[in-house]
A and B are shown apart, each in its own frame.
Chain A
Amino acid sequence: MVVDTLRDKAPAWTHGADHDGDVVVFSQCSLSRNLADFPFPVRCHEDELRMVEDRIVSVLDSLNLLAGGAYHQLNALSAMEQRFLWERRLISEELVLSQGPRGVFVGNDQGLAIMVNGLDHLHIRVLAGGQALNELWNRLTLLDDTLGAALDYAFSDRLGYLTALLENLGTALKVRMLLHLPGLAATDGLAPFLEQAARQQLLLCKVRAGNLSVTASTLSASRRLKTSTISTKSGMDQSLYLSADSGLYGQRTDSLGDLYLLTSQGTLGESEEEILFNVRHTASEIVQAERAAREALYGNSRRALRDRVGRALGVGGGAYYLDFEEAVAVLSTIRMGIGAGVVEDHSLPEVNRLLLQAQRGHLEASQGSPCDAMALNAARADLFRARFG
C-alpha cells in the first residue's frame, strides 16, 4: 500500500528550515503538457487514456526514472490513500476528479510528482522547503526536456504548450509558495501586497480547512469543479485546502493558521524566467515585510510572545480533543515562536511535519482506517500531546 511506504517518511520539503523557511513553508513549480496525437484527457475515450498512460509509463521506465520512485494507478488507491497523497501535494484535486485510467509517479524524496491523465496528459510538479525556485526550476526543466525528447508534446509556435484549460497554456508553468504571515496579518499589512501581486499577475490567496471529495464525479468543466468544492462547511473539513480560487478581497484578510498561498496566474506572453522572477521578487518583499512586522509586534515585548507561545504549547500538550482549526492555530504560534528564538525544544521541520500529520487523510492513515470527526479530533490531540506534552 502506498500509504504504508510513505506514511512514516517525511517529505524532503519539510526539512526546509533555511532559505527563509521561517516565512516560506514550501515552494512548488509545475508544468502541464499534452501528447500531440491524442485529444486532451477530458475528450479521450478510455482506451485512448490507457494508451497515453502506457506510453508515458514506458517512457519513465526507459529513462530509468521508475527506479527512483513508484507509479500508482489512481483507481487502485482507496479514498483514504488518495486524500493522503493529496494532502502531501503529490496529486491534484483535478487528478482525483478525472475519470478513467490515470495515476501518479511519486519520487522517493516526495518532492516530485508526475501526474498522468488529469486535466492534461502530463502534470509535472516539484516541491521544496523554503524559497527554492531556482533549484526547483532547474530540476523541473531538465525533467521536462528529458520527457519531451521521448514524447512529442502538443505545441504551437504562437500559443506555446497546449493545455485543456485556456488559462494554463503558453509556458504552462505555475509557481506557488505557501507563506506563514502572522506578523502581516496581525498588523494589517497585507493590503499593499495584494495590489502589488495583482500588478505582477500573481494572486495572494487564503488557506482554509477543506476536504477532498473522492466520490465519483465527472470533471467535465473546471468551473463546475470549482463551485462543487466550495461546499457547506462540514465537520470533515480537516485538510489544508490550498486553491487559487480563495482570493483575498477587501477587509477580510484572515486565513487559517495565518497561512497564505502566493501563486502565479498568467502563463502566456511571459517567459518562464519572467514568471519565476516575479514570484521570487514579490515573495522576497513579503518575507522582509513579515519579519519587520513580527519584530514590530514582539520585538519589544518578548513576554507577550512567550505568553502566547506558552499557551499554545499548553493546548498542544494538554488537550484530549483538538479540532483542525485550533491545531493549525497552535502550530502557527509555535512556528512563530521558533522563528523568534523563544522555543528551544522544537524545530521548524517538526512543525512542518505536524502540519501534515494533523490533517484528516494523515490521521486516518496512521489509524489504519476511516474515522469520524470526533475520532479525528481525539487522534490529533493524542499526536500533539505526544510531541508537546
Chain B
Amino acid sequence: MICPKCGNKLATIRYAEVVDGKVTERYLCPDCIAKYQKEAGAGFALADDTPTTADRPSAERLVNEAVRAQRACPSCGTPLTTVVDDGMVGCRTCFDHFGKEIDSILEGLHRGMQHKGKVSKLDNTRARTRADLQNKRQLLRTMLKAENYEEAARLRDEIRALEGGLSMADSGTD
C-alpha cells in the first residue's frame, strides 16, 4: 500500500509506538520514517541503539506496560498482545474491549474506518440474543470449571430457551 503521509512511495515499514499503554501503529515509507525520526528528536529510539536519558524506563511506564500485558478480553480471554502483535481478535467482545488499539491498527490496514457495502439483515433483538448466548456459554464454562453445577444447570436451561426462541422465530417467518 501507498504511504499515507506522502502518498508517493510504497509503505514498507510498520512502525508501532506505545505511549502510556496506548498503541499507535502506522505503515510508512522509508523517507517518512526518517523524517519522523528527525522530528521526534531525542525521544525516538526505534533505530538508535545508543542509550540516552530518554531510554531509561520510568516506573510509571513499567507499570503501564505491565497493565498492558495483563489486559485481556473478558469474554474470550484474548490478550492485548495478540491483538497488537498478530492483528487478531478472538470474539466480537474484543472489538469493544480493545476499541482504541483496534482502531489504530485498522487505520494502517484499510482505506477507511467505516464499513461500506453489504449489510447483514439482522434485527437488533436477534443480535442482542446472539451476543447474550455467547456470554452465557462462556459463563457456563466458567461455572463448570468452578464446579458450580447449580448455576451451570440454570445457564444451560437459559441457553436452550434462547436457542429455542431463535429457531421458533425462524420457522415463524415463512
Interface residues of A (CB under 8 A from B): 34-40, 42-43, 45, 48, 141, 144, 148-150, 152-162, 164-167, 169-171, 173, 194-195, 198-199, 201, 220-224, 249, 265-274
Contacts and interface: CB of A to CB of B under 8 A. Distances in A.
Interface of B: 1-2, 10, 12, 75-78, 82-83, 85-92, 95, 102, 105-106, 109-122, 126-127, 129-134, 137-138, 141, 166, 170
A294 to B, nearest CB: 27
Given A43-B78, A154-B92, A167-B110, 11 more contacts: A39-B76, A39-B90, A40-B90, A43-B90, A45-B141, A161-B120, A224-B86, A266-B109, A269-B111, A269-B112, A271-B117
Given A165-B87, A269-B111, A153 B122 contact: yes
Given A164-B90, A268-B110, A37 B131 contact: yes
A266 B4 CA distance: 14
Given A221-B82, A222-B88, A38 B102 contact: no
Contacts of A43: 76-78, 90-91
B75 A39 contact: yes
A152 B162 CA distance: 14
Contact of A148 (B105, B112, B116, B121): B121
B127 A271 contact: no
Given A152-B122, A199-B2, A270 B116 contact: yes
A272 B170 CA distance: 28
Contacts of A144: 118
Given A42-B88, A43-B90, A269-B111, A160 B117 contact: yes
Given A39-B134, A42-B90, A164-B88, A156 B1 contact: no
A319 B137 CA distance: 61
A160 B120 CA distance: 8
Contacts of B121: 148-149
Contact of B109 (A40, A158, A167): A167
24 contacts: A36-B122, A37-B130, A37-B134, A38-B134, A39-B134, A39-B138, A43-B78, A148-B121, A154-B130, A155-B119, A155-B122, A155-B127, A156-B92, A161-B115, A166-B88, A166-B89, A173-B117, A220-B82, A221-B85, A221-B86, A223-B86, A265-B1, A269-B111, A269-B116
B27 to A, nearest CB: 11
A116 B48 CA distance: 46
A278 to B, nearest CB: 10
B75 A223 contact: no
Contacts of A266: 1, 109-111
Contact of B127 (A38, A39, A152, A220): A152
Given A164-B89, A165-B87, A158 B134 contact: no
Nearest to B3: A198
Given A38-B134, A152-B127, A271-B117, A201 B111 contact: yes
Contacts of A272: 117-118
Contact of A271 (B113, B116, B122): B116
A148 B120 contact: yes
Contacts of B132: 37
A270 B111 contact: yes
Nearest to B135: A37
Nearest to B120: A155
A326 to B, nearest CB: 33
B100 to A, nearest CB: 13
A170 B115 CA distance: 5
Contacts of B88: 42, 164-166, 221-222
Given A48-B137, A157-B115, A166 B109 contact: yes
B89 A268 contact: no
B131 to A, nearest CB: 7
A141 B113 contact: no
Given A43-B77, A223-B86, A267-B110, A36 B127 contact: yes
A269 B110 contact: yes
Contacts of A164: 88-90
B31 to A, nearest CB: 15
Contacts of B82: 220-221
A67 to B, nearest CB: 21
Contacts of A273: 117
A171 B133 CA distance: 25
A147 to B, nearest CB: 11
Nearest to A273: B117
B113 A269 contact: yes
